[in-house]
Amino acid sequence: MAIQPQPKHKVRATGGDNPPPQSQVYPPGCTHQAPIPEGVEMQAQMLIHQAGSIELAKNAVDGAAERETIPDFREDTFAQRFGFASRPALLAASTPLTAADGTPWWTTAIADNGWVVWNQHDMSASKTYSSLQEARNSVYPAISQNAAEHSPTAN
């Protein structure tokens, strides 16, 4: 009986039928799954476009994060001054505004059909406005004046 030569390598019987899974190769800087919850990345991209630049968007996020760390005591006291039970109740009744310089403001309807304008750094709300538009005009004076001059009813 003759000795048959042994092959140098063993061939897997199912090698062609069931190839091993290949890992997905992504381009540099790309991830197959965002590290943030679904939808948040889209909101971030919208913020970048609305802010006008990545730097302004980052400043807006930093400012929002900073406001989240301020003790609620000041805002709770401010809310109670205008008849709200707490900071969350005040914020729920408020409308956000952003001044031309990027400063965040809030306008809030208060008792007697009045409105106040305030922000984290200026919680004096020393003036009361008779309408939401009047309160907005106090934050956007140049825009409001320009719109009034060019409106068809102004002539």
Residues 49 and 96 in one domain: no
| 99 contacts 140 by C-beta, under 8 angstroms | yes
Residues 53 and 83 in one domain: no
d(CA 66, CA 100): 20
The Cα angle at residue 92 between residues 58 and 72, in degrees rounded to 5 = 70
Residue 154 confidence (pLDDT): 45
d(CA 9, CA 16): 16
Residue 12 confidence (pLDDT): 60
Q: Which residues pair with 129 in a beta bridge?
A: 115
Residues 131 and 93 in one domain: yes
Residues 6 or more apart whose CB falls under 8 angstroms from that of 100 comprise 140, 142, 143
Residues 81 and 56 in one domain: no
In tens digits, the chain (155 residues) has pLDDT values of 667 777 677 666 655 666 667 777 777 766 666 667 778 888 888 999 999 999 999 998 888 887 766 667 778 888 898 899 988 898 899 989 888 888 888 999 988 888 999 887 778 888 889 988 898 888 877 444 444 444 444 44
Domain count across the chain? 2
Residue 18 confidence (pLDDT): 67
Residue 129 belongs to a domain: yes
Residue 55 confidence (pLDDT): 93
Tokens of 20: 């091993």
Give the Å distances, CA to CA, from 37 to 67, 85, 114.
22, 32, 39
Residue 5 belongs to a domain: no
Q: Where are the beta strands (DSSP E) in the chain?
A: 94-98, 104-110, 114-118
Backbone angles phi and psi of 151, in degrees to 5: -80, 150
Residues 54 and 83 in one domain: no
Residue 103 belongs to a domain: yes
Residues 91 and 113 in one domain: yes
Residue 135 confidence (pLDDT): 87
Tokens of 142: 């140049």
Residue 56 confidence (pLDDT): 92
Query: Which residues span the domain enclosing 42?
Result: 38-69
Residue 54 confidence (pLDDT): 92
Residues 109 and 141 in one domain: yes
pTM score, whole prediction: 0.46
Residue 136 confidence (pLDDT): 87
